A and B are shown apart, each in its own frame.
Chain A
């Protein structure tokens, strides 16, 4: 519903030939100076742009330093993109051993390939689930090593964009099946099952993610028998998976509720068992119609990976912040934050555009 109207300036695809550039330009100007109030608003906007854009341009482009050291940056007075260049690979790989960096690089490549494959509707079959089920452990083993002659690398040394990807992807891969179970459980006829699933969903959604992270970091070791230690990254993943599952479960529940009753009754009438009914009739439809909502939820969850900073895991943003402490490059926080913001923006914006696109193509009348 929001997709069609979010960008008024986007070309309308349905029209065979849009108005010419000159027509659009005059239309734009007319709308800008239509009446005294609109003219005042236009002038106000122009004033804001006039005061904001030229100084920013001068700082970010004209006076910026792209090569060289901190001294050169300070002399130029503009943005120090040389700092970002210097720390770029550090922000991707963190403290992962230098000579082993090909492993996170390969992992990210697999990850990107899998994500791209998942965006193509032709691949939306059970084989995609299977591919993820195989790819996820492979990526983990590649990162951790200790087998096939790969040196072992502690999760403590993982960092940067790599770990952001690991948390987001593993949280989703582990949380998604759990979400489906929780959503089904919440609509179950079995009272205790329904209460249990509702309690888990509401409790997880009712508290902030960082309290869950604290809980996993501090309480989980307390709940384990003596001598059992759980890796810190695994603890983060437990909290993040629960969080993902609870939020996704509500999206899936929306899809289940949106299914017409006739679908349930038809499945019952041909004698399918509960699981056959869900697996063959209800879930394929309920999951498909909620894909845009799932992508939107995932954008939120992806942004929330930055919260792992509170228990000392060095994700992309925290790694960049750590780079600010380099004594050779003191005093360039703005550049680092802008770079981080840019990376997150590109990723999230791409996802939200994808979801809006899906919303259009998945709408029943366009099929």
Chain B
């Protein structure tokens, strides 16, 4: 309705550069909405100030520099309860990011494997995977987290810790695994690995250009793998062997090595198992969305099965897979806030304690909402960028 009016009177636009709704009625509605939002906001704000004044509080972020006194069980950066609220919330944020990044990596791998198993020609494997996925998808995550936490707490005590693989210990206190010590040798190892990967990538690019130019195809596997493994091997031969710290039982607890707390471990398993079941369905739907004719055409060209998958099916399936996969990654990150149910000190959990101690509810909630919004926006921006790279390029 309003669009027809604006179409008749184009010169009226331009004075106020509003893209749409510049009719009298449209302006009236928008003015009404604006007034209502401002009035409601002002009412909330004045009530909040009166309520806070009555509790002897003042709005402001000054409390962030006060000492928090919150004991936090695990932290990547050095932290003591004497540190400030700013530091405590940072520790919470880092814990959230840690679980989100590890979780996303693991659930992608597990999800793809489950999705492929769901498409297997073997009916037994297909059926078992299907049943598993349905059970996981149709029960609440909170229930699964509590269940995994209970399972881990029922593991044997530290002294009888399960030892499935040498160096890995499973007990009530979580998981103990070997750790690499951060010394020059480790940096040399990482540097040579990166250099090897870069070399392989450059070689691959050159060979691809060559193939386009001459049609001749040569495998880069041997020289590439040589670079990837050879360079670190050279570094080690030169004496830069990284030190591995193995966990050892000393008294009533382990010493050395890397520790995953029971809470972190339960949260990780819960999130990965839950999210991977959803990813499996996305992968399955994506691969099935590729038309049968594409398989047949690729086979008719004489491509081997591996290359059919890599060059023909996956590029098309990824277009269908990426957008819902993004929302699953975001779901995992948001669901990591359920840590509070089993006591893992993530951002929401630390923030909740901070609110209880300071009473500065609006400030703390505004902080963590802003952080989650930022994480969501960054993740979707990254995935949208990747999506635009794999999207159909119409020439």
Q: Please report A residues at the B interface, Cβ cutoff 8 Å.
A: 1-2, 5-9, 28, 31-32, 34, 38, 41-42, 45-46, 48-49, 188-194, 196, 202-203, 205-211, 214-215, 218-219, 221-226, 268, 273-274, 299, 303-307, 309-310, 317, 321, 333-334, 337, 340-341, 344-345, 348-349, 352
Contacts and interface: CB of A to CB of B under 8 A. Distances in A.
Contacts of A214: 348, 352, 355, 365
A210 B338 contact: yes
A44 B303 CA distance: 30
Nearest to A6: B130
B289 interface: yes
Interface in B369-384: 369, 372-373, 376-377
B30 A191 contact: yes
Given A192-B34, A222-B361, A344-B143, 7 more contacts: A41-B122, A45-B122, A45-B125, A203-B373, A310-B340, A344-B139, A348-B137
Question: Which 9 pairs of residues, A with B, have the shortest CB-CB distance?
Answer: A190-B21, A348-B138, A189-B20, A208-B337, A192-B30, A208-B334, A206-B376, A303-B140, A306-B142
B240 to A, nearest CB: 41
B338 to A, nearest CB: 7
A227 to B, nearest CB: 11
A303 B141 contact: yes
Interface stretch (B42-50, B166-174, B212-220, B387-395): B42-50
A268 B3 CA distance: 11
A224 B47 contact: yes
Nearest to A44: B125
B292 interface: no
Nearest to B31: A192
Interface of B: 1-4, 18-21, 26, 29-30, 33-34, 37, 44, 47-48, 50-52, 54, 120-128, 130, 134-135, 137-143, 146-147, 150, 281, 284-285, 288-289, 334-335, 337-338, 340-341, 348, 352, 355, 361-362, 365, 368-369, 372-373, 376-377
Given A6-B130, A189-B3, A210 B123 contact: no
Given A32-B123, A190-B29, A337 B147 contact: yes
Contact of A45 (B128, B337, B361, B372): B128
A309 B341 contact: yes
A226 B21 contact: no
B139 A190 contact: no
A84 B94 CA distance: 40
A333 to B, nearest CB: 5
Contact of A223 (B44, B146, B348): B44
A312 to B, nearest CB: 12
A221 B140 CA distance: 29
Contacts of B369: 203, 207, 211, 215
A1 B30 CA distance: 40
Contacts of B335: 208
Contacts of A7: 130
Contacts of A206: 372-373, 376-377
Given A211-B372, A219-B365, A225-B47, A307 B338 contact: yes
Contacts of A190: 2, 20-21, 26, 29-30
Given A190-B29, A208-B348, A211-B372, A2 B138 contact: no
A306 B140 contact: yes
Contacts of B33: 192-193, 196
26 contacts: A7-B130, A8-B126, A31-B123, A38-B121, A38-B122, A41-B124, A45-B122, A189-B3, A189-B26, A190-B2, A190-B21, A191-B30, A192-B34, A196-B37, A207-B372, A207-B376, A208-B372, A211-B368, A221-B51, A222-B48, A222-B52, A224-B47, A224-B51, A310-B341, A345-B138, A349-B134
B123 A223 contact: no
B306 to A, nearest CB: 14
Nearest to A221: B51
Contacts of B34: 192
B334 to A, nearest CB: 4
Given A210-B340, A219-B361, A226 B348 contact: no
A240 to B, nearest CB: 14
Contact of B47 (A28, A215, A223, A274): A223
Nearest to A351: B138
Nearest to A304: B140
A200 to B, nearest CB: 10
User: Chain A CB within 10 Å — which of B19, B30, B139, B340 has the most?
Assistant: B139
The residue among B50, B369, B372 with the most chain A CB atoms within 10 A of its own CB is B369
B338 A42 contact: no
Given A41-B120, A46-B124, A214-B352, A345 B30 contact: no
A353 to B, nearest CB: 10
Contacts of A5: 284, 288
Contact of A321 (B37, B50, B146, B334): B146
B394 to A, nearest CB: 20
A42 B127 CA distance: 11
A233 to B, nearest CB: 19
A2 B285 contact: yes
B159 to A, nearest CB: 22
A348 B341 CA distance: 22
Nearest to B1: A274
A46 B127 CA distance: 12
Contacts of A191: 18-21, 30
Nearest to B365: A215
Contacts of B124: 32, 41-42, 45-46
Contact of A226 (B50, B135, B362): B50
B21 A188 contact: yes
